[in-house]
Structure 1
Amino acid sequence: MATHTAAWIKRKHAPLELGPVETPITGPGEILVKVRFIAFSPIESKQQKIEVHPLTYPNILGLSFSGVVESVGPDVEKFSKGDNVAVARPHDKSNDPRFGSFQQYALACADTTSKLPSSEFLESGAKVVLNLATVTAACSHFLGLERPGLDKPKSHRGERILVYGGSSSCGGLAIRYATAAGYEVVTTFSPKNHEYVASLGPAVVIDHTNPPDKVIEDLQAHGPYHRILDTIGVPPVTNIITKYLGGAGGGSYNTLIPVFPGTNPIPGNVERRFESYSWIFNNPEHEEFRKWYYDTLVPQGLESGVIVPTPSQRIDGGLANTQHALDLMNRGEVSGHKLVLDPWD
């Protein structure tokens, strides 16, 4: 039986270890992908450090990747050997190491895989396929925003959206998603990422490195907001948004992060909403939404330029440096970039 190399997590909180793994055979609804790019997300470093979701061990972490189809399951029709694809690991496969991205070959579910226009989109596809799913579900399902125009942005509808954290991967994608849907976006940034955030097309950018009272003053000056999406979620940000909303008469907003210890009490007239956003794609009730996301938004959004991925920060050294990538995120040393790695390096 053929084998390949993977970065294993052998037990809870353990550092990653390189080791062999049997190269799997595809079953119904599955495709086998030769991984070309692994894209890292903060949730992966948190999973190792604090086990956000219970896992069985040993396991292979990793939620998003891109590569070339090696083989397809007996009932898979929309993919063929040689296709370039971007893959999001389904939630129900978190305890099946065959689907983890931290390896050279990985299984993918056809339902959560996007066929990319060409090999030039492999790196971009790996970077967006997971976080854009979160943004899409948050914006269009939970916040009720219109879907974006993919041929050309929709005309402005006169409604302002606040995206807190424009230089984060999800924040940048949310700016592009909302502006292409015709909304006027106000976002926050740090000066070192100003050029990148401004290039995404927000109407207003607010420096969130200012003192909290100044940030709140700026939020007030550019509001009110039709909807608010917080892509950062740490206590100082929660404190700013809830204080702003509380002073504005109350309201609700959505965040991508659960409440952290150290968050101030939330005013009684403010609701902070956290959801497991992309889980809705597992619900048969939202099959059309899922198909539109994977079959249309990801490939056409990338090709048209409506979807702009966060700039890459390449991690050299292949799978041997997978742990290094997680450590960089745990130490807070990644800003305005998406870590990517070639497992064959």
Structure 2
Amino acid sequence: MTSNEAAWIKKPGGLIEVETVEKWIPDGVELLVRVEAVNYNPTDAKLRRSDLFQPQFPLIVGFTFAGTVISTGPDVSSVKPGDRVVVARWGQAGTDNKFAALQRYALALEENTLKLEPEITFEDASGVIANLATVVSALNIYMGLYGGSSAVGGLAVKYATDAGYEVVTTSSSANKKLVEERHAAHIIDHCQSKEDILRELRAHGPYEGLFEAIGSQTTT
């Protein structure tokens, strides 16, 4: 097997450095995946720039990826070597560098792994697994407002409207047509002044819930 390489951040604010790392060996319900596509999440960038998540350095970044199973631990039953899979780095894998996405070969927990159908690309799968999970878990509790043209926001609007909710969302005028295709009831131009946005939001209320996950001070 080709040697393993990984993208490290050695210290807070440090740049990503690519270095050789050991070849991980799966145990128990773990599997080893040759990484074919990685979804570089905004959270990865925030890990480098801020102490919001209080990460332990040095760290290998990356939360979701897709690839081909190379080997499995003795307790894995749902996938086998050669299977195409997509992986999310949830739970106990979240702080262990062996499970990080930005490396040539990464470990995965079976419970965090989905087998891919042949028609699904690695690239699409690596992006959707985290975004859709965020939408489903959050909108099962809170249904309402979201940035409708973002990756997660678009899924949220579609998911909520399919569930029968009347969705009020925000978008730039450039992306309005895209959001209209997701059947939002009302689309508010977020390029307006803050006062105008808030006035429109209030006009379409009251809401069962408001949901925001862009993650900046301005949107919150």
Q: Same fold (TM over 0.5)?
A: yes
Give 2:27's aligned amino acid.
Answer: G
1:93 matched to 2:75? The reply is no
Q: Partner of 2:172 in structure 1? A: 190
Q: How many residues align?
A: 220
Residue in 2 that maps onto 1:179: 161
Amino acid across the alignment from 2:150: S
2:67 alignment counterpart: 67
Give 1:122's aligned residue: 122
Q: Which has the higher contact order (CA 8 A, sep 6+)?
A: 1
Secondary structure, counterpart of 1:101 in structure 2:
coil
Partner residue of 2:135? 135
Cα pair 2:29 2:73 within 8 Å, conserved: yes
Cα distance change, pair 116–201 in 1 and its aligned pair in 2 (3 A):
farther
Offset at 1:233? 4.5
Q: Structure 1 unaligned segments of length 5 or more: list them.
A: 144-160, 239-345
Amino acid of the structure 1 residue aligned with 2:177: E
Q: Shift in Å at residue 201 of structure 1?
A: 2.3
Q: Tell me the secondary structure at the aligned position of residue 61 of structure 2.
A: coil
Provide the residue aligned with 1:15 in structure 2: 15
Q: CA separation in 2, counterparts of 1:209 and 1:223?
A: 20
Stretch deviating more after TM superposition (9-18 or 225-234): 225-234
Matched with 1:201 is 183
Match for 1:20: what amino acid?
T
Residues 29 and 119 from structure 1, CA distance in 2 versus in 1: closer, same or farther, beyond 3 angstroms? Answer: farther
1:3·1:23 contact (CA, 8 Å) conserved in 2? yes
- TM-score normalized by the length of structure 1: 0.60
Residue pairs, 1:1-345, within 5 angstroms:
3-118=3-118, 120-140=120-140, 142-143=141-142, 161-238=143-220
Higher helix share: 1
Q: Indicate if the aligned counterparts of 1:163 and 1:171 stay in contact, CA closer than 8 A.
A: no
Deviation at 1:223, TM superposition (A): 2.3
Give, in angstroms, the shift of residue 119 of structure 1. Answer: 5.1
The alignment-based identity, stated in percent, is: 40
User: Contact conserved, 1:163 with 1:174, CA < 8 A, in 2?
Assistant: no
Q: Could you tell me whether the CA contact under 8 Å between 2:93 and 2:109 is conserved in 1?
A: no
